[in-house]
Structure 1
Amino acid sequence: MFICPYGNMCRFARPVWKIFVNTKTRRLTLYKNGRVYKTYPIAVGKMLTPSPMGTFRIINKQVNPGGPFGARWMGLSKRGFGIHGTNDPSSIGKFVSHGCIRMYNRDVIELFNLVPVGTPVTIM
């Protein structure tokens, strides 16, 4: 249970979202108010173009970006990298991208609708 330090004022507070990407297990975990909310299968960068490690933020969001980016794009504060859908669902679960985090389109749409610009993303 989320305990608000401000009493009843937290009834109106927005949830605090955080994203954690585990490149070894190829899973993205979404946290809501410090608790696991949902886990998704993903694809990550291949050996020659690995996903960047560290903590970043979502800095922009785009619906239907076209090309290989699937149904949604969420750009990270690490220039040129993002979380996005895919036009190749068979790539999910593999080390195949140029560093971006790929998700099934249904999953990236769900994530896109939940998290705001500014959400922290840790990739390990």
Structure 2
Amino acid sequence: MPPYRIIIDLSDRMLHVLEQNRVIRSFPVGIGRMVTETPVGEFTIVNKAPNPGGPYGAFWMGLSKPHYGIHGTNDPSSIGHMSSHGCVRMYNPDVVALSKLMNIGDRVTIRP
């Protein structure tokens, strides 16, 4: 599988998957609230877990910043909004599709 990377644009609440600097998929996301903002910076995927339970929906991908990740949601109406405690929320079918592309160690850039 070729290496992919993720760029998350907080301003338009979109997650983009890139292959060799070319966007191949884009997904809408929910991001952190003002008091619990999604962190900006360069991270990597450090773990992956299907069906983590609770508010994390169908899949969890943990980031190299402890306690933050990309995950599904049990509240699909939160996608597109500032609604999380800092994590990046996705529709469950989208996060499952993303999980099939991404590997542990892949880069994740979160920008304002």
Pairs aligned (count) = 111
Q: How does 1:2-81 map to 2 (within 5 A)?
A: 14-81=1-68
2:92 counterpart residue number: 105
Q: Matches of 2:3 and 2:104 in 1, distance apart?
A: 12
Structure with bigger RCO (C-alpha 8 Å, 6+ apart): 2
Q: Matches of 1:120 and 1:57 in 2, distance apart?
A: 5
Q: CA deviation at 1:102?
A: 0.1
SS at match of 2:36: coil
1:82 counterpart residue number: 69
SS at match of 2:34: coil
Q: CA-to-partner distance for each residue in 1:64-92, whole Å, 9 max, x for gaps?
A: 00000000000000000000000000000
Q: TM-score scaled by structure 2?
A: 0.97
Q: CA-to-partner distance for each residue in 1:38-77, whole Å, 9 max, x for gaps?
A: 1100000010000001000000000000000000000000
- Out of 61, 69, 82, the position equivalent to 1:95 is 82
Q: Where does structure 1 differ by over 3 angstroms across 4 or more consecutive aligned residues?
A: none
SS at match of 1:48: helix
Q: Percent identity?
A: 51
- Which one has a bigger Cα radius of gyration? 1
Unaligned runs of 5+ in 1: 1-13
1:11 counterpart residue number: none
Q: Matches of 1:95 and 1:23 in 2, distance apart?
A: 9
SS at match of 2:29: strand
Q: Matches of 1:107 and 1:119 in 2, distance apart?
A: 18
Kindly report the root-mean-square deviation, in angstroms, between the aligned alpha carbons of the 2 structures: 0.6
